[in-house]
Amino acid sequence: MIRTSRKALLLAVAAVTLAAPLVIAQTLPRTPAPAGASVYVISPANGATVKGPQVTVLFGLKGMGVSPAGMPMGATGHHHLLIDSALPTNLATPMPANDQLVHFGKGQTEATVTLKPGKHTLQLVLGDHNHVPFDPLLASDKITITVTE
Ligand SMILES: [Cu+2]
């Protein structure tokens, strides 16, 4: 009779821990937003049809100020424009920067973006000096526009 020590083999395998690379986004404290603050898209209007491909978006903010990223300056933040994109799911980390989540870290209050013909959604999120969304989240309504050639 051949006996293999399966139990010993399993224990050996269990003892091997795999050092899988972990990507942990840096968690930062969220800056409290003043009561009553809100962010909104001034233009284009929700449902508007606009000529593209260059579309100018005006950023609105009530109850707070706009300041460049990098230094905490009281109740101020900078705008982020989500293009055809959902809100970030993790609100305790700096927002990523990409074509669909554009930072305006110089304190811009408007931007001209290039959009292909068709329907697009736009939404603003205010971030603090670390690009972390405020607490509570300050995001505009998501608007939908149609861009023509
Ligand atoms: Cu930012």
Q: Which CATH architecture has domain 6-17+21-148?
A: Sandwich (2.60)
pLDDT above 90: percentage of residues in the chain: 80
Using the mean position of ligand 1's atoms as its centre, give its distance from the Cα of residue 15 in Å: 43
Q: For residue 149, what are its two tokens?
A: 């050639």
Q: What is the mean pLDDT of residues 131-139?
A: 97
Using the mean position of ligand 1's atoms as its centre, give its distance from the Cα of residue 4 in Å: 60
Confidence of residue 26 (pLDDT cuts 50, 70, 90): confident
Contact 62, 37 (CB under 8 A): yes
Q: Cα 95–97–99 angle (5° rounding)? A: 130
Contact 125, 138 (CB under 8 A): yes
Radius of gyration of the chain, Cα coordinates, nearest whole angstrom: 23
List the shell of residues around ion ligand 1, using CB closer than 5 Å: 103, 105, 127, 131
Q: What is the mean pLDDT of residues 30-59?
A: 97
Using the mean position of ligand 1's atoms as its centre, give its distance from the Cα of residue 72 in Å: 13
Model confidence at 111: pLDDT above 90 = yes
Contact 114, 98 (CB under 8 A): no
Model confidence at 41: pLDDT above 80 = yes
Using the mean position of ligand 1's atoms as its centre, give its distance from the Cα of residue 75 in Å: 15
Using the mean position of ligand 1's atoms as its centre, give its distance from the Cα of residue 132 in Å: 7
Using the mean position of ligand 1's atoms as its centre, give its distance from the Cα of residue 44 in Å: 22
| 8/113: higher pLDDT | 113
> Strands (DSSP E) along 1-149, which ranges?
38-43, 49-51, 54-62, 65-66, 76-83, 101-103, 110-114, 118-127, 143-148
pLDDT in tens, 63-109: 999 999 999 998 999 999 999 999 999 999 999 999 999 999 999 99
How many whole angstroms separate alpha carbon 80 and alpha carbon 108? Answer: 10
